[in-house]
Amino acid sequence: MNQSKDNAARRALYESIRPHHMTPLWEVLHALVPKSPTTACVPALWRYREVKPFLMQSGELITAEEAVRRVLILENPGLPGQSAITQSLYAGLQLILPGEVAPSHRHVQSALRFVIDGKGAYTTVEGERTTMHPGDFIITPSWRWHDHGNEGVDGVTEPVVWLDGLDIPTVRFFDAGFAENDDVSKSQTVRHPEGSSYARYGANMAPVRRVNTGLTSPIFSYPYSRTREALHALERNSEIDAWHGIKMKYINPTTGGWAMPTIGTCMQLLPKGFRGKPHRSTEGTVYCVTEGRGSARIGDQTFQFEPQDVFVVPSWASLSLSSEEGAVLFSYSDRPIHEALGILREEFAD
């Protein structure tokens, strides 16, 4: 009796404070400070074989120029309408057909491109062009002019598809987004020969004078040929991690830290017959299959993956990776932010 009277009195208080834009903490405290992460983000996999026809169909319905960027966004099923694959990260599949141009613009959001299908497209970042090949990891740093095109390479012109990864939800969270179109030219004038940045920073050397001191790696294109060679050498000569296989992070050679300030990028090799132990981390991670087939057990779901598929592992979901034939996986996550804020937690189970 007393309690229901109290409850009625409490509800009356909540009603009276509502117009003052106030609310009682004690009703929400447990949800605000959960015992462990309670994300709305769910595990999911996009089978490239299944979604490629939709992407090609979009190629018949809109040009890259009209769309500005012809992209089908990969939305987490638990975060509908938010253009987010995890709480902090965005993912999309971008198509550029031979002869097309995606016009020059710049924005605060940082972007990565992971090439998954076709070769011969290029991206130009601040006047330096790089030709795209499958497995290449390419960076567009915050606030740098960038445009894309597809002129083919080695006499081959074909549609090119890449996975875009951006920190859009993170920048939105901080209300820090700005953007600009290049009104002067759709396509930047190339001012530096292809390979300039790589020659300057990609040979374990750096210029003695005027070292780039930005937050993002000055190597803006990490070719898969080099990454692959390193992973296979390590597979032959080094210890295999029971959880990750061989997992290497892309680094900014001028700092030794992550290649991008907000997005951590890795390439990982699962040797033939690998059966990884379960691991979980507070980072939300997007995987893209570079080579090989296998399975990802995420929480209590198992996903079979094949080349070019994309899958997402939510914060604190346990992940075990296995592969009979061996596989190579690219991944990106918000780990650099967790590390910078001192909130990263991870667990390696037996």
Nearer to ligand 1HN, 69 or 228 (CB): 69
Q: What is the distance in angstroms between the CA of the first residue and the CA of the last residue of the chain?
A: 52
Work out which of 69, 232, 277, 297 binds ligand 1HN, going by CB under 6 A.
Answer: 69
> Which residue among 89, 121, 138, 166 contacts ligand 1HN (CB under 6 A)?
166
Q: Candidates 48-56, 102-110, 205-213, 214-222: pick the segment binding ligand 1HN (CB under 6 A).
A: 102-110
Pick the binder of ligand 1HN from 119, 129, 146, 244 (CB under 6 A): 146
Q: Which helix (H) or strand (E) holds 111?
A: strand 111-117
Q: Does 111 bind ligand 1HN (CB under 6 A)?
A: yes
**Tokens at residue 183, please?**
């009104």
For ligand 1HN, the closer of residues 73 and 234 by Cβ is: 73
Among residues 307, 281, 295, 267, which one has the least CA distance to residue 86?
281
Strand ranges in 186-300 using DSSP code E only, listed in sequence order:
221-222, 246-249, 264-270, 274-275, 279-281, 285-292, 294-298
Least Å distance between CB 66 and ligand 1HN? Answer: 15
**Identity of the amino acid at 19:** P
Residue 333, classed as helix, strand or coil, is: strand
Do 96 and 152 meet the contact criterion of CB atoms below 8 Å apart? Answer: no
Radius of gyration in angstroms for the set of CA atoms belonging to the chain, rounded to a whole number: 23
Alpha helices in 69-195 (DSSP H): 168-173
Candidates 100, 128, 164, 309; binder of ligand 1HN (CB under 6 A) is: 164
Minimum CB distance to ligand 1HN, residue 109 (Å): 6
Q: 279-281 and 301-305 as β-strands: parallel, antiparallel, unpaired?
A: unpaired
Residue whose CB is less far from ligand 1HN, 150 or 282: 150
Residues numbered 201-240 forming contacts with ligand 1HN, rule: CB under 6 A: none
Alpha-carbon torsion, ordered 180, 181, 182, 188, to 10 deg: 100
Instruction: Check binding of 129 to ligand 1HN (CB under 6 A).
Output: no
Q: What does the alpha-carbon distance between residue 212 and residue 198 come to, in Å, rounded to a whole number? A: 13
Q: Report the distance separating Cα 109 and Cα 289, nearest Å.
A: 24
Q: Which stretch binds ligand 1HN (CB under 6 A): 7-15, 105-113, 310-318, 340-348?
A: 105-113
Pairwise CA distance, residues 240 & 326, whole Å: 13
Contact stretch for ligand 1HN (CB under 6 A) within 106-114, 194-202, 260-268, 283-291: 106-114
Under rule CB under 6 A, residue 136 binds ligand 1HN: no
CB 24, min distance to ligand 1HN, A: 38
Return the residue of 44, 55, 64, 71 that touches ligand 1HN, per CB under 6 A: 71
Judged by CB under 6 A, the stretch of 124-132, 163-171, 214-222, 321-329 that binds ligand 1HN is 163-171
Residue 2 backbone phi and psi in degrees, to 5: -60, -40
Quote the least distance from Cβ 113 to ligand 1HN, whole Å. 7
Q: Which residues contact 237 (CB under 8 A, 6 or more apart)?
A: none
Residue with Cβ nearer ligand 1HN (82 or 322): 82
State in angstroms the smallest separation of the CB of 184 from ligand 1HN.
Answer: 17
d(CA 206, CA 16): 64
Shortest Cβ 212–ligand 1HN spacing (Å): 21
Number of helices followed by number of strands (H, E) in the chain: 8, 23
Interface positions with ligand 1HN (CB under 6 A): 69, 71, 92, 94, 102, 107, 109, 111, 146, 148, 164, 166, 168
